[in-house]
């Protein structure tokens, strides 16, 4: 979570978080009610209830070991519930497996066969795509993730990131109705990840593809239609990301000054702010951080010399939710 300079402007969250590409009136692709999954040392999921509609992109967000992978495993049928119900595509996940594709965080093990043949073999084992269409589907998947030039390269010669891209190509070639991504884009270069996301958005619009994406990246999660924030196997909130951030993660201004008290007196007289202070810095939470920062720089009381604006993220929202949970 880095400070962003005032000149960079506010991040655009409206394009993704406020634009719905799915219909909440349609039958749900995922319906989870009261899901609990036990683990060796305690519950991996606790009383999770969730509905996801056709064409929706849901991000499952939180730190390591919060239950993200367990939730995706339950949705794919790889993890059996201790109690509660999971329905995917109108059936238990085990009965809908042909239309569900789960991309795990760890890529495939290296092999001697080339990338194209490995993907053709995987499609054959899955059995969902007719034999006559498999070569074209593999070519489409490789092109979508930007590794078409690697089709004849042995899998063992691929980098970690290239093997991840290969697994995403396999998912695209499989033509699922429900795609489950378990942190599968984290190791991809930003241009490759952006290309994958754009392709999947096209599939959502054209075919109603539904995506559930487990991630630790606030940047990635913010592009989803909704975000489910997990902690300790429980969903703390499930809302559009822009709504979560506006409600729980205030933007902040960080001012370095020779005399913070003088800056503080000026700011409190003009702006509705919450303030954190140390020896040389003031941290303000404000509704309009850019305007406040500009005001401080126009009238630099107290020797204010450096002004940064740090915009709220889902990690800030997570910290706020956790603090609220600990107080109750």
Read off the pLDDT of residues 150-209 as tens digits, 9 standing for 90 and up: 999 999 999 988 999 999 999 999 999 999 999 999 888 899 999 999 999 999 999 999
Q: Are 36 and 81 in contact (CB under 8 A)?
A: yes
* Helices and strands: H and E segment counts in the chain: 11, 14
Report the pLDDT value the prediction gives residue 30, as an integer from 0 to 100.
98
Give the integer Cα–Cα distance in Å for 134 and 316.
Answer: 44
| Residue 190, H or E segment | helix 190-207
Token duo for residue 271: 């702006």
Q: List, in order of start, the domains of the chain with CATH numbers.
A: 30-246 (3.40.50.300), 250-311 (3.30.70)
Q: Is a pLDDT exceeding 60 seen at residue 272? A: no
Q: Are 6 and 309 in contact (CB under 8 A)?
A: yes
Q: Are 204 and 21 in contact (CB under 8 A)?
A: yes
Q: Are 260 and 248 in contact (CB under 8 A)?
A: no
DSSP letter for 85, please. E
pTM: 0.84
Give the integer Cα–Cα distance in Å for 309 and 254.
Answer: 6
Report the pLDDT value the prediction gives residue 128, as an integer from 0 to 100.
84
Report the pLDDT value the prediction gives residue 142, as an integer from 0 to 100.
97
Characterize the bridge pairing of strands 306-310 and 4-5: antiparallel
The average confidence (pLDDT) of the chain is 85
The confidence band for 311, taking pLDDT boundaries of 50, 70 and 90, is confident
The confidence band for 8, taking pLDDT boundaries of 50, 70 and 90, is very low
What's the mean pLDDT in 47-66?
Answer: 97
Report the pLDDT value the prediction gives residue 252, as an integer from 0 to 100.
74
- Count of CB atoms situated within 10 Å of the CB of 302: 19
Read off the pLDDT of residues 115-136 as tens digits, 9 standing for 90 and up: 999 999 999 998 889 999 999 9
CA angle, 287 then 288 then 291, to 5°: 155
Instruction: Considering only residues 128 and 82, tell me which one the structure prediction assigns the higher pLDDT.
Output: 82
Give the integer Cα–Cα distance in Å for 326 and 298.
Answer: 41
Q: Is a pLDDT exceeding 70 seen at residue 288? A: no
């Amino acid at each position: 979570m880095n400070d962003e300079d005032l000149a960079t402007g506010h991040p655009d969250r409206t394009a993704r978080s406020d634009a719905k590409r799915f219909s909440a009136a349609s039958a749900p692709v995922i319906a989870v009610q009261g899901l609990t999954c036990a683990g060796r040392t305690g519950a991996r999921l606790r009383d999770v209830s969730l509905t996801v509609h056709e064409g929706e992109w849901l991000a499952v967000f939180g730190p390591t070991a919060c239950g993200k992978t367990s939730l995706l495993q339950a949705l794919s049928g790889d993890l059996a519930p201790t109690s509660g119900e999971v329905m995917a595509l109108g059936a238990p996940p085990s009965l809908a497996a042909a239309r569900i594709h789960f991309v795990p965080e760890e890529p495939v093990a290296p092999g001697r066969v080339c990338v194209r043949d490995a993907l053709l073999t995987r499609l054959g084992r899955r059995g969902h795509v007719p034999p006559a269409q498999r070569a074209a589907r593999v070519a489409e998947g490789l092109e979508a993730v930007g590794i078409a030039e690697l089709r004849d390269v042995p899998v063992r010669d691929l980098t970690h990131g290239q093997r991840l891209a290969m697994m995403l190509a396999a998912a695209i070639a499989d033509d699922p109705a429900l795609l489950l991504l378990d942190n599968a884009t984290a190791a991809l270069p930003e241009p490759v990840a952006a290309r994958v996301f754009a392709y999947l958005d096209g599939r959502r619009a054209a075919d109603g593809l539904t995506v559930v994406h487990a991630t630790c990246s606030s940047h990635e999660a913010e592009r989803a239609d909704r975000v489910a924030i997990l902690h300790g196997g429980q969903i703390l909130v499930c809302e559009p990301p822009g709504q979560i951030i506006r409600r729980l993660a205030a933007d902040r201004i960080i001012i370095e000054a020779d005399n913070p008290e003088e800056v503080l007196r000026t700011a409190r007289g003009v702006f509705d702010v919450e303030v954190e202070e140390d020896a040389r810095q003031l941290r303000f939470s404000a509704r309009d951080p850019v305007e406040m920062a500009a005001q401080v720089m126009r009238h630099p009381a107290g020797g204010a010399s450096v002004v940064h604006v740090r915009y709220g993220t889902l990690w800030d929202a997570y910290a706020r939710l956790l603090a609220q949970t600990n107080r109750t």
